[in-house]
A and B are shown apart, each in its own frame.
Chain A
Amino acid sequence: MNRIQTGIRTNVSTFLRTPLNVVLALLLPVVVIEGWGQAMAGLPTMPTVEAIPIDLGRLLGAIFGVAIIAGLMGLAQMISARAADRRLVQTGYPPRTLLATRLATLGGVTVVVAAVNYGVLWLTISPEAPVLTFVFLVLAGLVYAFLGALVGALLPRLFEGSLVVVFLAMMDAFLSGDSPLAADIPEFVEYFPLYHPKELLQEAMFQGTYTTGDLGFVAGYLLVLLVLVTVVFGVTMRTSGGWSA
């Protein structure tokens, strides 16, 4: 078994060793999706305010749910094993390999979380393009997973890191999420992490199509985050261990 497989297996078993993490990862999407859908649909219709249809509310809840679960997981993944990672680097484990195992684990768990959210959505809404809907939900999760990993690499304390990820996700959900309460949304909101994944998901869910520009933007976003995480992780490991391979 090579180092990457060993690393991924270790990371996954660490996550699964805490059954409450697994239970919450499965349970929270149901609560968030239904809570979001029901609440958004309850808004009274006024001349310039329109209640969000319950299905769109559920979809927005699913995007937020996937993003926040994956984002905090990315953060915890980078911070919790920082000391151990340094020791591994000192014993000759290449930082790139370490990072690859962390991100691969993160990607795998994000797919599972997205699948759970998709399952909950599927019980109440019939997506026009089921595969695309699932893929775009995964992309929304990956963007936040990598963002969480970046925050974790830059700000290696869970309290501070969680505050940054949580407030970013809340502002993002409010501004990118078609909130019926908001007006005069600034133009820079389209650079927010969830803006384009939300556009993709909404189109795939209700029209069965997607816009290539949105997909390109998300792919670019992921690439930039990946490069940033790799650079920052490399720098933090080099301070004590150095690149060994």
Chain B
Amino acid sequence: MNRTTTAFSIGIKEQARNYVLVALLVVLPVSFITLAFAVTQDVEMPVRTLVDGETATVMRGMPEVHGVIMTPITSALIAGLAGLFLMREAKDTDGRLAVAGYRAWQVIAARFGVLAAITLIVTGVSVGVMLIDFQPEQLWWFITAMLVVSVTYGLIGMLVGAVLDRLAGMWLMLILPMLDIGLFQDPLFIQSEPDWWMKLFPGYWPVRVMVDTGLTTDVDTALSLVWATGYLLLVAVLAIGIYYRATQAS
């Protein structure tokens, strides 16, 4: 087993040994998403999205629209907090791995691998729970956008963890996804063209894809997924750079 695999498997074992965390990663998405579907009014609401390449307003059931938003909020919140705390732990311990002879890329690959594993689990559970009540029209496009937004938030959590302390980081990683995905990108609340600053948030491009592929039969937002992936890559480069500096400093 090479060093990266060793560090990765130790990181995973460390998280898996924490039964409370494992239980929360499953219980929280299940309860939150189920509750969101259960109490949302079953009425048709206007939703602004792309249809045949043109922006149009279509009528869709509010539970479905709400589900399209609540599912990524759940995974983005958990992935963001996971990224935050992984970075805080890394600042305390990963410098020692470097002293013990680990190369920076090996430590980085192992830590990012752990974050990716947590994000995959949370995204899987969230989508699985959502599928009980709502099937997106284009499931795989929807899941891809879910993964992109969740990983992006996980990496943003790492960035925040490098810059802020735990308390300020927790505040930010709660409020950012909630305002971004839950209010600024929610097609129920934003019925006209979003302001330019709303498009700067990490959720703008992926949620656009999720609204389109979740609620309409055609895929009109392939380009938005490209932009979302670009955003993710940019955040990844920043996170790797910051992580490298943080572990070097410790």
Total B residues in contact with A, Cβ cutoff 8 Å? 44
Instruction: Report if A149 contacts B (CB, 8 A).
Output: no
Q: Please name all residues of chain B whose beta carbon is closer than 8 Å to the beta carbon of A21 when the two chains form the complex.
A: 165, 167-168
Q: Please name all residues of chain A whose beta carbon is closer than 8 Å to the beta carbon of B46 when the two chains form the complex.
A: 44
Per the 8 Å Cβ criterion, residues 52-94 of B in contact with A are 62, 66, 77-78, 81-82, 85
Q: A44's contact among B35, B45, B81, by CB below 8 Å, is which?
A: B45
Instruction: Report if A213 contacts B (CB, 8 A).
Output: no
Given contacts A20-B168, A46-B44, 10 further A-B contacts (CB under 8 A): A24-B168, A28-B171, A46-B43, A49-B45, A73-B167, A158-B170, A163-B24, A166-B170, A167-B77, A183-B40
Per-position binary interface string of chain B over residues 160-171, scored 1 when its CB falls under 8 Å from any chain A CB and 0 otherwise:
000011111011
Contact A44 B191 (CB under 8 A): yes
Q: Please name all residues of chain A whose beta carbon is closer than 8 Å to the beta carbon of B170 when the two chains form the complex.
A: 72, 75-76, 158, 162, 166
What's the nearest-Cβ distance from chain A to residue B102, in Å?
Answer: 24
Instruction: Report if B132 contacts A (CB, 8 A).
Output: no
What's the nearest-Cβ distance from chain B to residue A164, in Å?
Answer: 7
Instruction: Report if A91 contacts B (CB, 8 A).
Output: no
Contact A48 B41 (CB under 8 A): yes
Q: Please name all residues of chain B whose beta carbon is closer than 8 Å to the beta carbon of A183 when the two chains form the complex.
A: 39-42
Q: Please name all residues of chain B whose beta carbon is closer than 8 Å to the beta carbon of A155 when the two chains form the complex.
A: 20
Q: Which 7 A-B pairs have the closest CB atoms?
A: A39-B183, A183-B41, A39-B189, A159-B85, A76-B167, A42-B189, A182-B39
Per the 8 Å Cβ criterion, residues 2-54 of B in contact with A are 18, 20-21, 24, 28, 31-32, 35-36, 38-46
Closest to B20 in A: A160
A24 to B166: give the CA distance in the assembly, Å.
Answer: 12
Per the 8 Å Cβ criterion, residues 105-162 of A in contact with B are 155, 157-160, 162
Task: Point out residues on B near A: beta carbons under 8 Å.
Answer: 18, 20-21, 24, 28, 31-32, 35-36, 38-46, 62, 66, 77-78, 81-82, 85, 164-168, 170-172, 174-175, 178-179, 183-184, 186, 188-191
Q: A20's contact among B40, B165, B184, by CB below 8 Å, is which?
A: B165
A171 to B166: give the CA distance in the assembly, Å.
Answer: 23
A160 to B17: give the CA distance in the assembly, Å.
Answer: 13
Most buried by A among B28, B40, B81, B189: B189
Q: Please name all residues of chain A whose beta carbon is closer than 8 Å to the beta carbon of B166 when the two chains form the complex.
A: 76, 80, 158
A170 to B190: give the CA distance in the assembly, Å.
Answer: 20
What's the nearest-Cβ distance from chain B to residue A178, in Å?
Answer: 12
Most buried by A among B78, B81, B171, B184: B171
Q: Please name all residues of chain B whose beta carbon is closer than 8 Å to the beta carbon of A162 when the two chains form the complex.
A: 81, 170, 174
Contact A175 B186 (CB under 8 A): no
Instruction: Report if A16 contacts B (CB, 8 A).
Output: no
Per the 8 Å Cβ criterion, residues 173-191 of A in contact with B are 174-175, 181-186
